[in-house]
Amino acid sequence: MKLDILAIGAHPDDVEMSCAGTLMKHLAMGYRCGILDLTRGELGTRGSAETRDQESAAAALVMGITVRSNLGMKDGFFRNDEEHQLMLMEVIRKFRPGVVLANALSDRHPDHGRAARLVQDTCFLSGLSKIKTFEGSVPQEAWRPKTVLHYIQDHNLKPDLLVDISPFKEKKMEAILAYRSQFYNEASQEPETYISKPKFLEALEGRMLLWGKIVGATYAEGFNTRRETGIRDLLLLD
């Protein structure tokens, strides 16, 4: 199945916390959207890889995402090299997305920036017909997405593009909370982490409010791009 938008995250929950509203908005508009997790998040302090598998499936159900895959790369240790590029290229050529959403170019977690560069480089290389990949035994055709956008995560980056997600904000928070092992629970006996503190989710909501205000909406999500973005019709601008 060809996808219009493929959101890629280094870890399960990256996409939910950063661009779930954008995905749900485009699903509601009739576009085909999917998620690809690079790792199972097995190095996370709270929960386990099996826990994260269950939580990511629950979050996809909340969002209405029917296409979600996991490449099983090694959490913390995957690289932007030929081996990992070819793994990712097979998925890009399989789903042939027009738009790819990827991790932040710079962020607190080193996996995020590394994943951003891996996705950016692989999307370009995927368009080169002399690089051979296969789906089963069938050769895949070259495919290069039109656009790669990087969602903003922990670092306070200035967005190049803002998407109004106001009608989908509550569903986004529901999808995030599907990762219940990750977030604040006063009854939990697991160690406190950066994202399990009580105010973490309030901070996420606050930033969506700030970005929404900038574009005359209630809530928005922000993205960066490494290249200038053109538009064919000025009247499409909000």
128 and 206 Cβ atoms separated by less than 8 Å? no
Contacts of 57 (CB under 8 A, 6+ apart): 68
pLDDT, one tens digit per residue, over 17-40 is: 999 999 999 999 999 999 999 999
pLDDT at 229 over 80: yes
pTM: 0.96
Which of 143, 157, 177 is CA-nearest to residue 63? 177
Domains and CATH numbers, the chain: 5-236 (3.40.50.10320)
Give the Cα separation of 132 and 113 in Å (integer). Answer: 27
pLDDT, one tens digit per residue, over 135-160 is: 999 999 999 999 999 999 999 999 99
Burial track 125-156 (b if 16+ CB lie within 10 A, e otherwise): bbeeeeeebeeeeeebebbebebbbbbbbbee
Give the Cα separation of 195 and 205 in Å (integer). Answer: 13
Structure tokens at 231: 């538009």
At 189, is the pLDDT very low, low, confident or very high (cuts 50, 70, 90)?
confident
Mean pLDDT of 194-214: 96
Locate all alpha helices (DSSP H) within the chain, ordered by sequence. Answer: 14-28, 49-63, 82-95, 110-125, 169-177, 200-214
41 and 15 Cβ atoms separated by less than 8 Å? no
Contacts of 70 (CB under 8 A, 6+ apart): 12, 36, 37, 38, 39, 40, 53, 56
pLDDT at 98 over 90: yes
Which of 234, 236, 229, 235 is CA-nearest to residue 161? 229
Structure tokens at 21: 């509203």
Give the Cα separation of 101 and 119 in Å (integer). Answer: 9
pLDDT at 1 over 90: no
pLDDT, one tens digit per residue, over 47-68 is: 999 999 999 999 999 999 999 9
Which one-letter amino acid corresponds to residue 201? L
